[in-house]
Amino acid sequence: MKRDGVYRGFSITPDRGSLGIELRELLEYRYLFWRMLVRPIQVRYRQTVLGVAWAVIRPLVSMVVFTVFFGKLLGVEKRVDTSYWLFVLTGLLPWGLAAATVTAASASTVNHAHLITKVYFPRILVPLSVVGWTGLDFFVGALAVIPLMVWDGVVPGPSLLLMPVILLLIVGCSMAVGVFFSALNIRYRDFAHAMPFLVQIWFFLTPVIYPAKVVPERFRPLAEINPMTGLISAFRSCLLGTPVNFGSLGISSGLCVVMLACALWYFSRVEGFFADVV
Partner 1 sequence: MVAPMIEVQRLGKRYLRGGQQQAISDLRERVVGWISRPFRGRSADPDRDFWALRDVSFTVERGEVLGVIGRNGAGKSTLLKILSRITRPTEGRAHLNGRVGSLLEVGTGFHPELTGRENVYFSGAILGMKEAEIRSQFDRIVDFSGVEAFMDTPVKYYSSGMRVRLGFAVAAHLKPEILLVDEVLAVGDAAFQKKCLGKMQDAAAGGRTVVLVSHSMNAIKRLCNRALLISSGRMIVQGEPDAVVDQYLLQARGLGRGEATFPGREGEPFNISRVSVTDGGGRVLTGPMEVEERICVEAEFRLERELPGGYAVMTLRNRSGEVVMMSDNRDSRESAGMTAAGVHRIRIEMPAPMLVPGTYSVSMALCRPPKGSLFRRDDAVSFELADTGGIRSGRVGYIYVPLKWRSL
Q: Determine which helix (DSSP H) or strand (DSSP E) holds 239, and give its type and residue range.
A: helix 227-240
Q: State the minimum distance, in angstroms, from the CB of residue 65 to partner 1.
A: 31
Q: What is the dihedral of CA 78, 80, 85, 88, to 10 degrees?
A: -130
In angstroms, the CA 212 to CA 207 distance is 5
DSSP codes of every residue in 208-235: TSS-GGGS-GGGHHHHHHSHHHHHHHHH
> Which residues between 121 and 150 bind partner 1 (CB under 8 A)?
121
Q: State the minimum distance, in angstroms, from the CB of residue 18 to partner 1.
A: 14
DSSP-derived letter for residue 5 is S
The correct pick among 19, 20, 27, 43 for binding partner 1 (CB under 8 A) is 43
In angstroms, the CA 274 to CA 278 distance is 6
DSSP codes of every residue in 74-108: S-GGGG-SS-HHHHHHHHHHHHHHHHHHHHHHHHH
> 195, 169, 168: which is closest to 181 by C-alpha?
195
Does 81 help bind partner 1 (rule: CB under 8 A)? no
Does 9 help bind partner 1 (rule: CB under 8 A)? yes
Site string for partner 1, 226-255 (x = CB under 8 A): ------------------------------
The correct pick among 6, 23, 24, 46 for binding partner 1 (CB under 8 A) is 46
Site string for partner 1, 99-118 (x = CB under 8 A): ----------------xxxx
Does 10 help bind partner 1 (rule: CB under 8 A)? yes
The amino acid occupying position 112 is H
> Which residues between 253 and 272 bind partner 1 (CB under 8 A)?
266, 269-270, 272
Pick between residue 81 and residue 276 the one whose CB is nearest to partner 1.
276
DSSP codes of every residue in 135-151: HHHHHHHHHHHHHHHHH
Query: How many residues contact partner 1, by CB under 8 A?
Result: 38
The correct pick among 163, 184, 198, 257 for binding partner 1 (CB under 8 A) is 184
Does 187 help bind partner 1 (rule: CB under 8 A)? yes
Q: State the minimum distance, in angstroms, from the CB of residue 269 to partner 1.
A: 7
Q: Angle of helix 190-205 relative to helix 163-185, nearest 10 degrees?
A: 150
> Which residues between 17 and 36 bind partner 1 (CB under 8 A)?
31-32, 34-35
Span of 41-49, 94-102, 128-136, 226-234 interacting with partner 1 by CB under 8 A: 41-49
> Which residues between 205 and 224 bind partner 1 (CB under 8 A)?
none
Say how many C-beta atoms besides its own lie within 10 A of residue 235's C-beta: 25
Q: How far is CA 87 from CA 81, 92, 175, 216, 236, in A?
A: 9, 9, 25, 20, 8
Phi, psi (degrees; rounded to nearest 5) at 67 = -65, -40
Does 73 help bind partner 1 (rule: CB under 8 A)? no
Q: State the minimum distance, in angstroms, from the CB of residue 277 to partner 1.
A: 7
Q: Which positions lie near partner 1, rule CB under 8 A?
A: 1, 8-16, 31-32, 34-35, 39, 42-43, 46-47, 115-121, 184, 187-188, 266, 269-270, 272-277
